[in-house]
Amino acid sequence: MRKLIYLLGLLGVTLLWSCTQEPPSNPNSTTDITSADIQYHINYLASDELEGREAGSKGAQEASAYIANEFKHYGLQPAGENGSYFHEFEVIAGVNKGQNNKLTFDIGGEQVVCEADSDFSPVSFSENGTFTGGVVFAGYGIEADDLKYNDYDGLDVKDKIVLLLRYSPEGDNPHSDFNSYSALRRKASLARDKGAAAVIIVTGPNNDPEDALMTFKYDGTAARAGVGVANITGEVADKLLASSGKTIEALQKQIDDGPAPASFALENVSASLEADVRDDRRTARNVAAILHGNDPSLKEELIILGAHFDHLGYGGSSSLDREATGQIHNGADDNASGSAGLLELAQKIAAEKDQVKRSYLFLAFSAEEMGLLGSSAYVKDKVTPMDQAVLMINMDMIGRMKENQLILYGLGTSPGWEKLVDDLNAESDFGFELKKNKDGTGPSDHSTFYQAEMPVLALFTGIHSDYHKPSDDADKINVDDEARIVKFAYAFAKNVDELTERPQFTKVESTERRQSRGAFRVYVGTIPDYAETDVEGLKLSGVSSGSPAEKIGLQAGDVIIKFGPREVKNIYDYTYALQDFKPGDEIEIVAMRGAEKLNFMMTLEARR
């Protein structure tokens, strides 16, 4: 864990940044929502100094201190833990190799000991433990009925160590029909479901003539494969195959020329793999502040304003620029822009503290990029009771408006939302080209609050060519248009504050079944709980209204452990299971609800 030494005053009021100085407040700040103030906040939050604000990093801690210090200057009260502005929670930021990785082979009675990091390496999603068994070669480890190709046809792999080639018979061609079957996690999952003890992966010479080990890297999730997984060199693979009179090069050519499987059990060859992969656990923190309302009958109700402040650090597996390894990803639009908007709203509303009727909760989330972990933790930990929340406004990527278009989500989550939006937009200061979505779910923090049955409104200006790249910098933000957007959010919040009746929450029947990058043919309507990384299975944070999942009775908190014939140990298993079926298929789903095991039958619907 990277260490940031910081002190909190006993009452959570005195904040020290980097132990020596307070975060740099803007000496020219005004209580109005201005382009200049927005630019100031973004310039700091998206500076190289904060190193991309990865959750749990020093830069993210400094960003959170900056936000807390601003809240304090505005006169807002702490709404974190123990009287502070902070709410801490644990994240897994990566994985590291432990000290106990070992791989040995018994080849016809001869012991071959492999050297870690030169002959072999564990793969980052390997299960930990010791795995032993006879060795079988299963080609590329692909079973694709639609392509009439099956490396496992007639091959018994139960309790065996399965040797697999990386990629597919068509190499690493991204347009190959085999592409969706080629992911290493999918291969490991398939081998596990067939009873394998472990998987050993080798890159064939057609794909890597230099015979290098794969880079050990975190792929963005802590989910383990359920079997041991290691990578060996082609040289080691050839030692295993020598007694069979084969080489990995010859086998790869034989398979690719078909393509046709060439799987077989290796005679008198066994393996013992000891895998030791350790989570890099860190403490991240949200920032929370509150302004109490004045109306005796309404002040217990909450209007929540939020934005995430974390980004990707140095890129990692989420970077969309594969040439940018090790470069700082500043995340000016994603989401220093939303954080700046939150600060502007906080400052303006705090200056009007005597006029507010309801209470306002200001939340800056960390670990959104890891799967909405910060907002999920804040809601689950009940740091501030949410039963009286009447609105959550979320701002995520609001700094790169194009052609005056503002994208809104959540308009169906309360009956009056769409009319209020239209009425506000008709005013001369706005006049946005609105792209309106009724659904309250989506890939940002408003989804957490919608699943907790709160009306939401999310603001977004769209994806651009700098998204998740080092080029998402402060000088590209359109601060004038962002100021208009923040004023729009302010006007919406103030109008809700003036309502005499509590806004009604409405669950939206999802009509959008967007085709995702995995080209799934089926629609289920489950909403994963990404914050639950230590659960074996797929835990649900909710289900979409009107979806197949809702129709059969699945609900928030259920943990899916089987989907059709596939065991589900993590979200990857679930994703691969979805790819196995077509609309109209009827399948059995097994889920845990607490200690109770439940069986459901679902008819899969088409994804449109």
> Which domain CATH number covers 487?
3.40.630.10
Buried b (16+ CB within 10 A) or exposed e, 532-569: bbeeebbbbbbbbbebbbbebebeeebbbbbbbebbbb
Which two structure tokens, joined as six digits, stand for 90?
A: 């644990």
What CA–CA distance (Å, rounded) separates 330 from 352? 33
What CA–CA distance (Å, rounded) separates 118 from 105? 16
Is 370 part of a structural domain of the chain?
Answer: yes
Q: Kindly state the DSSP code that residue 336 receives in the 8-state scheme.
A: I
Dump pLDDT digits (tens) for 239-262. 999 999 999 999 999 999 999 999
Query: What distances in angstroms separate CA 590 from CA 308, 552, 565, 570, one per listed residue?
Result: 35, 12, 10, 14
What CA–CA distance (Å, rounded) separates 446 from 395? 9
What is the band of 427 on the pLDDT scale with cuts at 50, 70, 90? Answer: confident
Which two structure tokens, joined as six digits, stand for 3?
A: 């260490």
Helix (H) or strand (E) holding 363: strand 359-365
Q: Is the pLDDT of residue 91 over 50?
A: yes
What's the CATH number where 579 sits?
A: 2.30.42.10
Q: Supply the pLDDT for residue 356.
A: 98
> How much is the mean pLDDT over the chain?
93
Q: Kindly state the DSSP code that residue 399 receives in the 8-state scheme.
A: S
Which two structure tokens, joined as six digits, stand for 127?
A: 């299960």
Q: Is the pLDDT of residue 215 over 60?
A: yes
3-state secondary structure of 473: coil
Does residue 92 contact residue 280 with C-beta atoms inside 8 Å? yes
Q: Name the nearest CA neighbour of 227 among 359, 341, 337, 122.
A: 122
Residues 298 and 352 in one domain: yes
151-165, 361-375, 577-591: least confident range = 577-591
Residues 243 and 293 in one domain: no
What is the band of 113 on the pLDDT scale with cuts at 50, 70, 90? Answer: very high
Helix H segments across 360-497? 373-380, 417-425, 446-451, 479-497
Residues 296 and 371 in one domain: yes
Is 595 part of a structural domain of the chain?
Answer: yes
Q: Supply the pLDDT for residue 26.
A: 85
Residues 342 and 488 in one domain: yes
The string of DSSP letters for 242-301 reads GGGT--HHHHHHHHHHTT----EEEEEEEEEEEE-EEEEEEEEEEEEEEE----TTTTTS
Number of domains in the chain: 3
Residues 447 and 360 in one domain: yes
Can you state the angle between helices 479-497 and 417-425, rounded to 10 degrees?
130
What is the band of 7 on the pLDDT scale with cuts at 50, 70, 90? Answer: very low
Q: Is the pLDDT of residue 596 over 70?
A: yes
Is 175 part of a structural domain of the chain?
Answer: yes
Which two structure tokens, joined as six digits, stand for 253?
A: 């050519």
What CA–CA distance (Å, rounded) separates 125 from 133? 20
What CA–CA distance (Å, rounded) separates 164 from 151? 10
Q: Name the nearest CA neighbour of 304 among 507, 115, 450.
A: 450
Mean pLDDT value across residues 58-82:
98
Residues 154 and 295 in one domain: no
What is the band of 220 on the pLDDT scale with cuts at 50, 70, 90? Answer: confident
Residues 250 and 212 in one domain: yes
Mean pLDDT value across residues 312-341:
94
Q: Kindly state the DSSP code that residue 243 receives in the 8-state scheme.
A: G
Q: Supply the pLDDT for residue 510.
A: 66
Buried b (16+ CB within 10 A) or exposed e, 145-172: eeeebbbbeebebeebbbbbbbbbbebe
Mean pLDDT value across residues 353-376:
98
Q: Supply the pLDDT for residue 58.
A: 98
Residues 290 and 393 in one domain: yes
Residues 445 and 538 in one domain: no
Is 206 part of a structural domain of the chain?
Answer: yes
Q: Is the pLDDT of residue 219 over 90?
A: no
Pairing of strands 359-365, 405-409: unpaired
Which two structure tokens, joined as six digits, stand for 522?
A: 């089926």
3-state secondary structure of 598: strand
Mean pLDDT value across residues 522-539:
86
Dump pLDDT digits (tens) for 264-307. 999 999 999 999 999 999 999 999 999 999 999 999 999 999 99
Is 511 part of a structural domain of the chain?
Answer: no
161-165, 420-424, 529-533: least confident range = 529-533
Q: Is the pLDDT of residue 3 over 50?
A: no
Residues 194 and 342 in one domain: no
Of the candidates 275, 301, 335, which is a domain's last residue?
275
E strands present in 478-582: 522-523, 526-528, 538-543, 559-563, 566-567
Mean pLDDT value across residues 551-565:
95
Residues 52 and 167 in one domain: no
Q: Supply the pLDDT for residue 21.
A: 59
Pairing of strands 228-232, 389-395: unpaired
User: What percent helix, strand, coil does the chain show, rounded to 5?
Assistant: 25, 25, 50
Q: Supply the pLDDT for residue 521.
A: 81
Q: Supply the pLDDT for residue 17.
A: 38
476 or 2: whose pLDDT is higher?
476
Does residue 122 contact residue 146 with C-beta atoms inside 8 Å? no
Mean pLDDT value across residues 436-463:
96
Residues 265 and 288 in one domain: no
What's the CATH number where 238 sits?
A: 3.50.30.30
Range of the domain at 583: 522-606
Mean pLDDT value across residues 44-49:
98
Is 15 part of a structural domain of the chain?
Answer: no
E strands present in 76-225: 77-78, 86-97, 102-107, 110-113, 120-122, 129-137, 143-144, 149-150, 161-165, 198-202
Is 507 part of a structural domain of the chain?
Answer: no
Does residue 232 contact residue 201 with C-beta atoms inside 8 Å? yes
3-state secondary structure of 182: coil
Does pTM surpass 0.75?
yes
Is 366 part of a structural domain of the chain?
Answer: yes
Helix H segments across 503-568? 548-552
Q: Supply the pLDDT for residue 98.
A: 97
